Structure 1
């Protein structure tokens, strides 16, 4: 099963790159963790995202489109980075996340979401 592992944003991640010794240590730890994921054949893709001040949203309402410039205020609703993993089940994904170093200097959260697969649409008759 494929899962998207979402590193939730924090006030620190929304400030952008901060080249401190703590940041360097954090990046080294995450690099080692990523190497473990690659060695285990789990990591399909992953990256960090720039702060929301560098992003945009497009709001849809029928045929109308509205572009909204960042930054976006609800930090707890934002994503700072992601991985795409191939795991045998959700339990394996949880075990890997529990092994992950804290991705932020302070408290943080990681969310795991399964991707839809073609079998999920079998009853609908979609090719």
Structure 2
């Protein structure tokens, strides 16, 4: 079973800021140890930290009839918590996902949301076969590209 662990934190807690509640060096070392444990256990599929929302943007539509999406640059001040990073893990059960999530070195004010990533087979009864076949083909292409990318390192 795949699970996504989504770290949410107020942007005011961003590492490297003078008033950040956690020392950046200590936070990186703790996260490095956690990531190493995930890799050594063979459960980590992907993990990334994300840049502050000031460097991002969001796309919205005013209505279903609107033809042109609206682009709004960050920062997203209306949000109380923003996604700071994520992990995707492959584990045997929800309980194992919970065990890993409990080990994540999050500090006060940080929230770790854990959500199961459904397998494509779960959509066989509701999605048209052609759509599932096309999705399988796309995923194969992505895996091939990821394998090539890994060889370039």
Q: TM-score band, normalised by the shorter chain?
A: 0.7 to 0.9
Aligned to 1:65: 69
TM-score with structure 1 setting the length? 0.85
**Larger-gyration structure (1/2):** 2
Q: 65, 80, 85: which one pairs with 1:81? A: 85
Which contiguous aligned blocks of 4+ residues in structure 1 show a shift greater than 2 angstroms? 16-21, 60-64, 124-127
Distance 2:55 2:35 in 1: 25
**1:115 positional shift:** 1.2
Question: Number of residue pairs matched?
Answer: 122
Please give the per-residue CA displacement for 1:32-68, whole angstroms capped at 9, x wherever unaligned: 1100000011111111101111100011343221001
> Residues 1-127 of structure 1 correspond to what in structure 2 (within 5 A)?
1-10=1-10, 11-13=12-14, 17-18=16-17, 22-60=23-61, 61-62=63-64, 63-73=67-77, 74-76=79-81, 78-102=82-106, 104=107, 106-124=108-126, 125-126=128-129, 127=132
Larger strand proportion of the pair: 1
- 5+ residue gaps, structure 1, are none
Contact 2:9 2:109 in 1 (8 A): no
> Cα RMSD between the aligned structures?
2.0
Distance 2:124 2:73 in 1: 39
- 5+ residue gaps, structure 2, are 133-153
TM-score with structure 2 setting the length? 0.72
Query: Higher relative contact order by CA 8 Å / sep ≥ 6: 1 or 2?
Result: 1
